[in-house]
């Protein structure tokens, strides 16, 4: 079980984010929980592409004695993680704009008090 230790860290991050989304009342804490879940998923994508004793897949001044398809880390999961980070930034910006508008209209950030549609 000790060779699955990074995957256990990913599961812990997803569960902490889900706990913050389900059990907290402040809206800003909900936004933090969603951001923690996205960070856990990005970490999972990078972990999938690791080879033992590997270097980065860049050919400029390699350390001497590196065999090139067998001694390098896989490059495709790193490209997918770049796209995922940018999507997380876009969703976070739109969520925070909505939270600012809700605070101006209702005067409070408590989720249990915003439940009725007020005029």
Partner 1 sequence: MSEMTKIVKTTANILFPFTMIFGLYVIAHGHLTPGGGFQGGAIVVSGCALLLVAYGSSWVFDRIKDKRLVTFESMGAIGFIMLAFLGLVFSAVFFGNFLAGSGTLFGTTPATGSTLADFNTGGILPLMNFAVGLKVIAGLFVIVLVMAYASSAKEWG
Partner 2 sequence: MEKRMIVGALGLAVVAVFLLFSIVLIHPFGEPGEVQMDDYIITHTQNETGTNNGVTSVVFDFRGFDTLGEATILFSAVAGVLLFFRRIRP
**Binding positions for partner 2, rule: CB under 8 A:** 3-8, 11, 14-15, 18-19, 22-23, 47-52, 57-60, 68-69, 72, 74-76, 78-80, 82-83, 86-87, 89-91, 93-94, 97-98, 101
Give ∠ CA 24-29-33 in degrees, rounded to 5: 95
DSSP annotation of 68 reads T
Please, which residues have CB within 8 angstroms of residue 92's CB and are 6 or more apart in sequence? 31, 35
- Please say which residue, 74 or 89, places its beta carbon nearer to partner 1: 89
> Which positions lie near partner 1, rule CB under 8 A?
56, 58-62, 64, 66, 68, 82, 86, 89, 93, 96-97, 100, 104
């Amino acid at each position: 079980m000790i060779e699955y230790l990074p995957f256990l860290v990913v599961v812990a991050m997803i569960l902490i984010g889900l706990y913050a989304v389900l059990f907290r009342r402040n809206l800003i804490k909900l936004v933090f929980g969603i951001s923690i879940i996205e960070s856990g998923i990005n970490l999972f994508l990078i972990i999938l592409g690791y080879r033992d004793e590997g270097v980065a897949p860049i050919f400029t001044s390699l350390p001497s004695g590196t065999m090139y398809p067998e001694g390098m880390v896989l490059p495709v999961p790193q490209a997918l993680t770049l796209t995922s980070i940018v999507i997380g930034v876009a969703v976070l910006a739109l969520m925070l704009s909505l939270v600012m508008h809700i605070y101006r209209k209702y005067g409070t950030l408590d989720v249990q008090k915003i439940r009725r549609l007020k005029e």
